[in-house]
Each structure stands twice: as C-alpha cells, then as structure tokens.
Amino acid sequence: MPIANSTLKRGLITGAVVVILILITVYALSPAALPVEAVSAETRTLTILVEEQGRTRARDPYIVAAPITGRLLRSEMDEGDTVSRGQVIARIALAPEDQRTEAISRANLTAAEARYAAAQAALMETESAYARARKEEERRNELFKNNLTSQEEMEYYFQVTDSAEARFLSAQATLAATAADVESARSRLLGINLDNDEGIQEVIAPVDGTIYRVHEESERIVQAGTPLFDISNDDTLEIVIDLLTQDAVKVEPGDPVLISGWGDDRVISARVSYIEPQAFTKISALGVEEQRVNVIGEFLESHAPLGAGYRIEAGIVVWEEENVLTVPTSAIFQRNDSWQVFIINAGKVEQRTLELGQRGREFAQVVSGINAGDTVILYPSDLIAEGITVSY
C-alpha cells in the first residue's frame, strides 16, 4: 500500500507540472494585447468655428488734412492724446503769396457783391417801369374801344410795353449773372478762414476721439490736402479678420465672434457686421498666393484695454447645435472613399463606417455608424486592424 500511494502522488505531481508547462507555453505563444488610447462617443453641444488672426481698427476714423497750402507750425499734439470736437490741433501760416492771393480774392468778392446789389436795384426799376407800362396800355386800350384814341397811338403804347418787358427780362438775366460772379468769387476763398490778422489758419478736430497717428510732426511747408492727423471717432473700435474666401463663404452678418489671444485669458464677445465685397490677393508665409477677404466685426462688450491696430485671435461661430452625437476628429480616418473609425468591443477591435455631418477642429458630428457610449480608438496606427486584442 505505501508503494502504491507513493506512485500515485508522483503521478499527480507530474500531471500538474505538465499542465502548468502547457499553460505557460500557451500564454507565451498567444499575442499580447496592443495598448491604445480610447474615449467614448458622447453627445455634446457642438460649435463649429472659423478661426483666424485679426486686428482692431478705429471705426469711422477721420483723416484731418491741411485746408490750405502754407507753413505748418509745430503742433503740441502727440499720438494717444484725447481731443474734443472743435479743439485746435494745428496751425498753418499762409505764405506771403497766398496772403496776396487771398486779398485779391476778397477784393473780387466785394466787387462782385457790389455789382449784384446794382443789378438788384436795376431789376426793381425795370420791374416798376414794366408794371406802369402795362397799366398805361390797359387804360389806352379802353379809350380805343370807346373810339377816344387812334390806332396809331394804341400801337405806340403796345411797343412801349414790349420795350419795358424786354428791359425787365434783361435786368433779371443781369442779376443772375452777377449772382454767379459772387459765387465764383466766394469759391476762390474756400478753405481760407483766417482767425486773426497774422495770416494763421487754425485746424480743428472734427470729432471727439483719440489721435492715433500724427503724419507731420515737424514744422514745414505743406500743400492743401496733406494728411496731418488720424483721429478715431469716439474711440470706438471694430475688428478686421482676413479670411480665405473658402472660409468667408460660410460666414454671415450677425454670426457670433469670440475674441481671445489679446493679452488676457478673458474671451470678449463680438459679432460679424459685414463682409467686404472685394477680395484681395495675399502671399502666405510659404509663398503661396491666397485669395482673402476682410470680415468686419463689432464688439458687444467692453474692450477697454484694446486700442487701434492690436492683434487678436478670432473664432467666428458658423454653426452650433445641442445634443449632437460626436466623435473626436483624431479617431476618424478615410478608407475606400468613406470615413471610418475603430471601436473596442469586449477587448476586440471592430471597424465601422461613419456618416459625418459638421466637422470642427476637435469633434465631428456623427449622423450614423456608431452609438453614444461606444469606445473609439484615438490616433489609430497601421498596427490596428479589425479583430486584434487591445487594451486601454
């Protein structure tokens, strides 16, 4: 009996060792699970943005130009100074020849106004004479009807009336001509509005705002129409975002705009005012010609820290919807002219064909192909294929 028990024990031990060796061999020969990154498809509010850099600029800026030719005196105004409507911001001294020209123009205006006054008096005189001639003609006509005057005398008074009318019409024409002379003389004085006897023309601010550019800082001779200052209108700003025309066609006036990247973590709300009708060609950093167009936006809240010409990051909301089934864009790929995704089911990989709707930078809308809660593989590599075992 002892010998039989010993033999049984040795057989059991041997069998256990064999089973363990078989299990070790099977485990060693079985493929290892491939580690992957994965997330669940879920419903969310999906927002589609068109994103691009932009800048701020003054809305309705005023370019103040020299009204006359002369010597610009050095101005005390600097960029960033606040000005009020009607405030003197520059002074221009007329050149001597301009003063002589002005004196001649003013003398011509005085003469034209005198001729106009004389023409008015002549018109009054001829109008009175014409009225008197007509009355006399009517009286003589009554006498002629009663055979108290001759035909020859009646014809004479007809001629007198016609002559009086002709002189009246001539006086009217002369008055119109002298009125035109007055306007012509006045036009020669346009832009000249001397405020003192020293020949100094004062340039005033047309609006309340801030000077954000001084074109001429030094004293020099300037021509009429030379830009002197750029002034913002009440310091109101707008946003200029130049988009590729392919992106601009998705944008409509009224679309929300999210302003960031301006130097603070706060996002400023704005909206699209309008899209400029004319596109332009721009060379990209890679040397590629691009057709771009400016999209103009307006702020909906305070932008106190910002000034004209500041760089900003703009995200234009072109589509937004709640409760949308989404999948990360890093999980989808194209194969056989369709969008595909790998999902994990019981540790095994399955490939699914997707029908996508709207696509943003991070998420895409899933119309069909997977359900909420399905686990999708992110950044699928060439090592992933349907049926393999993965871990995450």
pLDDT in tens, 148-169: 777 777 778 788 888 888 888 8
Bridge pairing between strands 237-244 and 289-299: antiparallel
pTM of the model: 0.58
pLDDT at 168: 87
* CA gap 210, 99 in Å, rounded: 33
167-175 long-range contacts, Cβ below 8 Å, gap at least 24?
167/126, 167/129, 167/130, 168/123, 168/126, 168/127, 168/129, 168/130, 170/126, 171/119, 171/122, 171/123, 171/125, 171/126, 171/127, 172/123, 174/119, 174/122, 174/123, 175/116, 175/119, 175/120, 175/122, 175/123
pLDDT at 197: 47
Model pLDDT for residues 192-207, shown as the tens digit of each residue? 554 444 568 889 999 8
Sign of CA dihedral 358, 364, 365, 367: positive
Please give the single-letter amino acid code of residue 150.
Answer: S
Instruction: Work out the percent of the chain whose per-residue pLDDT is above 70.
Output: 88
CB atoms inside a 10 Å sphere around CB 338: 11
- Average pLDDT along the chain: 85
**From edge to edge, which strands make up the β-sheet containing 227-231?**
62-65, 227-231, 209-214, 82-83
Average pLDDT value for residue range 248-264: 94
Query: How would you class 350 by CB atoms within 10 Å of its CB: exposed for 0-12, middle for 13-18, buried for 19 or more?
Result: middle
pLDDT at 109 exceeding the cut of 90: no
* CA gap 116, 176 in Å, rounded: 8
Average pLDDT value for residue range 298-310: 86
* CA gap 370, 379 in Å, rounded: 17
Average pLDDT value for residue range 224-244: 89
Q: What angle do CA 370, 371, 372 make, to 5 degrees?
A: 135
pLDDT at 113 exceeding the cut of 70: yes
Q: Which residue bears the tokens 């009175």?
A: 128
| 359 contact partners, CB below 8 Å, separation of at least 6 | 48, 329, 365
Q: Which fold has domain 51-58+234-318?
A: Elongation Factor Tu (Ef-tu); domain 3 (2.40.30)
| 138 contact partners, CB below 8 Å, separation of at least 6 | none
Instruction: Report residue 31's pLDDT band, with 50, 70 and 90 as the boundaries.
Output: low
Query: What six digits make up the tokens of 346?
Result: 């019981």
List the CATH code of the domain at 34-49+322-391: 2.40.420.20
**From edge to edge, which strands make up the β-sheet containing 70-72?**
200-204, 88-94, 70-72, 220-222
pLDDT at 5: 58
Query: How would you class 156 by CB atoms within 10 Å of its CB: exposed for 0-12, middle for 13-18, buried for 19 or more?
Result: middle
Q: Which CATH number fits domain 62-94+194-231: 1.10.620.20, 2.40.50.100, 2.70.98.10, 2.60.40.10?
A: 2.40.50.100
